[in-house]
Structure 1
Amino acid sequence: MNMMEAVRTVFSKYATFTGRARRAEFWWFVLFYIIVNFILGLIDSVLFGTTTTTETSFSAETDTPILSGIFWLATIIPYIAVGVRRLHDTNRSGWWLLLGFIPLIGAIILIVWFATGGDRGRNRFGDDPIDGSGGGDAGGEADYAETSIPKV
């Protein structure tokens, strides 16, 4: 999976919090997010000016991060969704994403979990995203077909 495939996948699953996301999908999207946010921050600085604290110091921050703010609004939901799906791949609940609100320690734990390989095969959140579809929930069509309940 390359960066464009990952970005396409994340945006096609814009608000999908079920299923699993492999490491490549997550980390390529994170890299895309960082690069685009950096570029938009530079454009914001050029178009809307920068903050100066004194005559001899300079800050690259802008007082009005309009473009990067719009980008953040457009990507916050898929960013959270791919994070939840990434945690699902490691057989953890998406609620663990709230660890990010604990300064430093929470971020370190999440980075380690995001970098950890996912479960091989099916887990409670769905198929393996490498071997299977990975896009469905754990109670998908495959489980239904294996039961003795007749399909309606």
Structure 2
Amino acid sequence: MEWMLLPLRRYARFSGRSRPKEYWMFILFLLLCFIAIAIVEGLLGLSTTEHWARHGPWWFDSGYRTRGGPLTGLFGLAILIPWLAVAVRRLHDSDRSGFWLLIIFFPLIGSLVLLVFFIMSGTRGPNRFGPDPVEAGEPEFARS
């Protein structure tokens, strides 16, 4: 649980490096939070659900699409800066500049490239962004 909340403690710290464990545990935390918010919004009737149906001469297609409500938007806005900070620190761990995040604006290729960068292990030893977080040891919460 501590690994999930570590990026919130380093709220807007864009310098330094982050281990893969810190990044992926934070992503898991975000996923769980968005699921919980979607359930709450569904129970309160705050989300919008759209039913669509299409039929042609030989086929019929229907489904539901649910969009998040105001709680999802507020949570997404509140978590944007910590996500950007941990993503930049994760790129720093592989000796890449944070400007690589801008590649996400290329629809499919950019997302795949970033996914590969986030999965890759970091450079061993110090690099231009700081010491290796694995060699530096566990964060403060694990030392006490």
Range into which the TM-score falls when normalised by the shorter chain:
0.7 to 0.9
The offset of 1:9, in angstroms, is 1.4
Residue aligning to 2:64 = 59
Matches within 5 A, 1:57-136: 59-62=64-67, 65-132=69-136
CA contact (8 A) 2:5 2:26 kept: no
Q: 1:42, 1:60 → 2: CA distance?
A: 15
The offset of 1:58, in angstroms, is 5.2
Amino acid paired to 2:64: S
Q: 1:101, 1:7 → 2: CA distance?
A: 27
Percent identity (aligned): 42
CA contact (8 A) 1:19 1:134 kept: no
Query: Aligned pair 1:13/2:10, yes or no?
Result: yes
Identify the match of residue 19 of structure 2 among 1, 22, 30. 22
What TM-score does the superposition give when structure 1 sets the normalisation length? 0.78
Q: 1:128 to 1:67 in 2, by over 3 A?
A: same
What is the alpha-carbon root mean square deviation over aligned residues?
2.2
Cα deviation, 1:78-109, whole Å, max 9, x if unaligned, reads 00100000000000000001111111100000
Matches within 5 A, 1:27-46: 27-46=24-43
Query: Paired residues, what number?
Result: 131
Q: 1:6 to 1:94 in 2, by over 3 A?
A: same
Between structures 1 and 2, the one with greater strand share: 2
Q: 1:35 to 1:51 in 2, by over 3 A?
A: same
Unaligned runs of 5+ in 1: 136-152
